[in-house]
A and B are shown apart, each in its own frame.
Chain A
Amino acid sequence: MTPLDPADLQAVWLTLKLASVSTLVLLLVATPLAWWLAHSGKWYKGLVAAAVALPLVIPPTVLGFYLLLLMGPHGVVGELTTALNFGRLPFTFSGLVIGSVLFSMPFAVQPIQNAFEAIGKRPLEVAATLRASAWDRFASVALPLARPGFVTAIILAFAHTVGEFGVVLMLGGNIDGETRVLSVAIYNHVEAMEYAAAHVLAGGMVLFSFLVLLGLYLAGGKFSKVTK
C-alpha cells in the first residue's frame, strides 16, 4: 500500500503541467530576449541583463509576496487584469505560470544568450552575403548552431519549475488540481507529520531531477560533439 492519496497524484500531474507550460512560455520570451542581449550595443543592455538575473538573488517567498501584492486588487497588474476582464491572477494556474516564468527567467535566458554569443558574427555575415534574409539567418543559421544552449535552457527551466516552492507557496492558496504542486504537497506532508508520504514524493522528485540532469549532461556532450 502506498501512503499517497489521489490528491498527491494530482499534484504530480499539475507540477508536470506547470513545468511544461512555463518552459514553453519561457522559450518564447527568452529567445528574443537572449538574441537582443547577445547582439545589442545599447547602453541599457547591462540594466536588462541585471534585471533578468535578479530572480537568482531574490528569495522566492519574497518574490512571491510582491507578486501577490502586484496581482492583488490594489496592485498595478491586478487592476490591469481586472480592467481587461481576466479576473485576478493569484490562486490560479495562470498566476503560477507567470510567477514561474519570472522566477526561472535567468535559467532560460543565460544558456541561450551564451550560445548565441559563442556563434559570433561571422556565420551570420557569411549567410548575409549569400542573401539570406534576417529571419532566415536567425532560423537557419543561429537557431541550429545554438541548439546546445536551447537544450540546456529547456532542461534547466523545466527542472527549476518542478523544484519551485516559495513563489508557488505565496501565490497558490493550495487548491487541489489548480495550484497545489508537488513541492507544496511534500511540505504539507512534512508539516502534518506524514513522513511516509513525504518520503515517497520527495524520493520520486529526487530521482526525477537526477534523471533530468543526467539527460542534460549526456545530451550536452552529444550536441557539443555535433557542433564541433
Chain B
Amino acid sequence: MRISLRGYVAAVVMLFGLMCSSVQAGEVRVAVASNFVAPMERIAVLFQQESGHTLKISLGSSGSFYTQIKGGAPFDVFLSADDAIPKRLVQEKLALESSRFVYALGKLVLWSAQPDLVDAKGAVLNKGNFNKLAIANPLLAPYGMAAKETLEKLVMWNAMQGKLVKGENITQTYQFVATENAELGFIALSQITKDGKVTEGSWWLVPSQMYKPIKQSAVQLSGAKDKAAVQAFLDFLKSEKAVAIIRAFGYELP
C-alpha cells in the first residue's frame, strides 16, 4: 500500500484536531481528593439536575493535584483533603483567595473489616493482638498526619513502628484494611459510611481532640473557564442540600 504525502499530512492534522477538542460551555471540571468521592458523586447528580451545568470529576490525591495544577492542569475547582495546599495555590496565584472555604471537616476512624476486633474505645491498640496497622503516609495525606498525631497522643507512635504499613493515600490505606492484609487501620469515616451509618466491620471513632482538625478546603483555580458555572457549583456546595449529603457521609462542618 502506498500512502501519499498529502494523505499523511491530512491524517496528522486530523489527529491533532481530535486531541485538541475544546471544552463545552457550562462545564465545571473539579479535582476531588479521593476521600470525598462518595459524597461528591451524590452532589454531582443533584447539581447537574438543578443547574443544567455539567460536572467533570477527577479523583486523586491532593499532592498529585497540586503538582498537576502547577503544571497547568485544566481544572476549575479543587476540593483538597486539607487546607495547606489550597493556601499554597493561592500564594502562588494559581487560585483565588476569595473563593477558599472549608467544605468538610474530616473524621478519623480506626477500622477493621473483622466484626469484633476493634472496640468502641480503641483499647485494641493496647492489646496489640494484630500484625499490621495501616495508616496513610503522614507526610502526604492529612488523614495520615491525623493518625500519627493520635498515636503520639496515646504515646504509642514509637511502639507501633514495627507494625505500621503506609498507604500512599487514604484510598490505598482503606484497600489494605478492606482486603484484611492489615487487620486494622486509621482511615476516613466517610470511606465506611453509607447513608449515615457504618455497617461493616468494627471501629473506633477517634475523638476529635486527638488530632488537629482536618479542614478539607475548596478553592476556585485562577484558570477557571466558565466563571458563572463555577460560581453556581461553589454556591451549591454550600447549600443545605449539599451539606446534608456531606454530613450523611460522616463529615462535620465548621
Contact = CB atoms under 8 A, between A and B. Distances in A.
Interface residues of A, number: 22
B175 interface: yes
Interface string B162-181: 00111110001001100111
A65 B181 CA distance: 12
Contacts of B166: 173-175
B134 A191 contact: no
B137 interface: yes
B90 to A, nearest CB: 15
B139 interface: yes
B63 to A, nearest CB: 4
Contacts of B35: none
**Which of B132, B137, B168 has the largest count of A CB atoms less than 10 A from its CB?**
B168
Interface in A65-96: 65, 68-69, 71-74, 88, 90-91
A190 interface: yes
A88 B181 contact: yes
Given A188-B140, A191-B63, A169 B168 contact: yes
A187 B179 contact: no
Interface residues on B, range: 20 to 34
Given A173-B167, A174-B137, A188-B139, A72 B63 contact: no
A191 B61 contact: yes
A142 interface: no
A193 interface: yes
A192 B181 contact: no
A181 interface: no
A71 B181 contact: yes
B171 to A, nearest CB: 11
Contacts of A74: 179-180
Nearest to B165: A173
A19 interface: no
A175 B134 CA distance: 11
Contacts of A68: 175-176, 179, 181
Nearest to B63: A191
A170 interface: yes
B12 to A, nearest CB: 27
Interface string B124-167: 00000001101001011000000000000000000000001111
A174 B168 contact: yes
Contact of A174 (B66, B67, B165, B179): B165
B48 interface: no
B64 interface: yes
Contacts of A170: 172, 175
Nearest to B61: A191
Nearest to B88: A193
A173 B63 contact: no
Contact of A192 (B134, B139, B165): B139
Nearest to A61: B172
Nearest to A87: B131
A24 to B, nearest CB: 26
**Which of B64, B164, B166 has the largest count of A CB atoms less than 10 A from its CB?**
B166
Given A68-B179, A73-B181, A188-B140, A174 B63 contact: no
B180 A192 contact: no
Contacts of A73: 180-181
Interface string A159-179: 000000000011001110000
A170 B169 CA distance: 11
Contacts of A90: 176, 181
**Which of B134, B140, B167 has the largest count of A CB atoms less than 10 A from its CB?**
B140
A68 B66 CA distance: 29
Given A72-B181, A73-B180, A91-B165, 19 more contacts: A68-B175, A68-B181, A69-B179, A72-B180, A74-B180, A88-B131, A91-B181, A91-B182, A169-B168, A173-B134, A173-B166, A174-B165, A174-B167, A190-B63, A191-B63, A191-B137, A191-B140, A192-B139, A193-B67
Interface of B: 61, 63-64, 66-67, 131-132, 134, 137, 139-140, 164-168, 172, 175-176, 179-182
28 contacts: A68-B181, A69-B179, A72-B179, A72-B180, A72-B181, A73-B181, A74-B180, A91-B132, A91-B181, A91-B182, A173-B166, A173-B176, A173-B182, A174-B165, A174-B167, A175-B165, A175-B166, A187-B168, A188-B140, A190-B64, A191-B67, A191-B137, A191-B140, A191-B168, A192-B139, A193-B63, A193-B66, A193-B67
